[in-house]
């Protein structure tokens, strides 16, 4: 087993163990909140899930910018952007679901057009559109250029989501940790459990993105191989000697 596979497997195991510990601490060890009671237990998962969504879309934006910059232009950046965006969409969906579970007993409704909920829903739809654009029929370079621009436009909504509770009147409480004064309003066991949740879910993001990137690389290699074989057949039908079938660099290194 290669070092890369060992490292990837270790990250996956660490994320599972850390998430399990977070659930155990959040449900049975930490005390209920003075005001929210046992509802506070969702706090150990919901903010971490939202953080991973922001992290994923941030990575997508950075990778897209690196592709658009001529000095670093490489389809591997586009592949990373796509893999990270797919994971980000999953975690954005989990953010909306866990937020609804918290909002029903707190606000009395599953959904309300609160600024935070509305901007988060918009973020979800923007990146669903981004993933749809990636499936459009186009050459790899054309697709990568279009998607990179779309990713940089969509990421503008990330800071809007984060600051929406401060810019507009919102039912949602202000940020507990990443507030404007950077003074966390959570301490003791609750703080450590929340931190563990952030770290564990971040490791889960890293593992999921790496796995999706690897699958995307295999898909691209297969598509390149299929295209080369199809061209060779056409050349043979026309009486032209077929060119040697190129083997993608990534495929040859595995």
Domain 3-174+186-212 CATH (choose: 1.10.3470, 2.60.40, 1.10.760, 1.20.120): 1.20.120
Question: pLDDT tens per residue, the chain (254 residues)?
Answer: 688 889 999 999 999 999 999 999 998 998 887 777 888 888 889 999 999 999 999 999 999 999 999 999 999 999 999 999 999 999 999 999 999 988 888 888 888 888 999 999 999 999 999 999 999 877 889 999 999 999 999 999 999 998 888 888 777 766 666 555 556 667 678 889 999 999 999 999 999 999 999 988 887 776 666 556 665 666 676 655 555 555 555 544 44
pTM of the model: 0.83
Q: Phi and psi for 33 in degrees, rounded to 5?
A: -80, 155
What letters, b where the CB count within 10 A reaches 16 and e where it falls short, cover 44-83?
bbbbbbbbbbbbbbebbbbbbbbbbeeeeeeebbbbbbbb
Domain ranges in the chain are 3-174+186-212
184: region left, alpha or beta (phi > 0 left; psi from -120 to 50 alpha): beta
Q: Which two tokens stand for residue 75?
A: 């389809």
């Amino acid at each position: 087993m290669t070092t890369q596979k060992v490292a990837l497997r270790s990250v996956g195991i660490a994320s599972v163990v850390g998430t399990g510990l977070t659930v155990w601490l959040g449900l049975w060890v930490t005390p209920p909140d003075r005001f929210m009671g046992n509802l506070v237990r969702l706090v150990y998962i919901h903010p971490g899930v939202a953080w991973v969504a922001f992290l994923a879309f941030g990575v997508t934006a950075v990778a897209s910018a690196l592709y658009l910059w001529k000095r670093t232009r490489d389809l591997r950046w586009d592949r990373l952007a796509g893999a990270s965006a797919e994971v980000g969409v999953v975690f954005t969906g989990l953010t909306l679901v866990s937020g609804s579970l918290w909002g029903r007993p707190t606000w009395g409704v599953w959904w309300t057009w609160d600024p935070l909920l509305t901007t988060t829903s918009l973020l979800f739809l923007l990146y669903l559109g981004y993933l749809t654009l990636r499936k459009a029929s186009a050459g790899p370079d054309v697709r990568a250029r279009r998607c990179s621009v779309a990713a940089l436009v969509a990421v503008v909504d990330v800071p809007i989501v984060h600051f929406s509770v401060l810019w507009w009147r919102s039912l949602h409480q202000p940020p507990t940790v990443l507030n404007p004064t950077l003074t966390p309003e959570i301490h003791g066991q609750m703080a450590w459990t929340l931190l563990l949740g952030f770290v564990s879910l971040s490791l889960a993001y890293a593992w999921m993105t790496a796995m999706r990137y690897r699958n995307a690389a295999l898909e691209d290699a297969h598509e390149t191989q299929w295209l080369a074989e199809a061209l060779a057949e056409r050349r043979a039908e026309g009486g032209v000697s077929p060119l040697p079938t190129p083997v993608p660099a990534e495929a040859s290194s595995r």
